[in-house]
Structure 1
Amino acid sequence: MKLLSKIALGSTAALGSAMASATATTPDVAATIETAVAAGQSNYTLVVVGLLSLASIGFGVGFIISKLSR
């Protein structure tokens, strides 16, 4: 039992030091979320512009082909 208490004490100390180290290097959560939101908004804009461009190109090519086939 003595060995188990020493192991428990050692693991508690290691866990405590790991938690202190993790909290010391934790980045600002609000800044990280703002960065992720900005990246998501730019990706959304890029997708919308891409889809609109693809639709307009498809419509234009279809219109030209239909006029040439007459």
Structure 2
Amino acid sequence: MDKNTVNQAGIVFQKLRKQRHLSTKKLAEGILSVSSVNKFETGKTKLSFFKLGSLLKRMDISLDDYYE
């Protein structure tokens, strides 16, 4: 995954999280650190498929919908 794709994935993720009025703390709880979510949203790191899937499930978003 190139840097631009990582940035776009984070931007979309953050937009969806904010639409659902979820804080990074509430979303990350029990899955990974708040700083990891913040780094993903700003394009500074990638998330594993499983961590991303867990976060999306918490937001009630399917992987298919996220990638569209």
Please tell me whether Structure 1 or Structure 2 has the larger radius of gyration of its CA atoms: 1
Structure holding more helix per residue = 1
Whether the TM-score (by the shorter chain) exceeds 0.5 is no
Q: TM-score, normalised by structure 1?
A: 0.29
Higher relative contact order (CA 8 A, sep 6+): 2
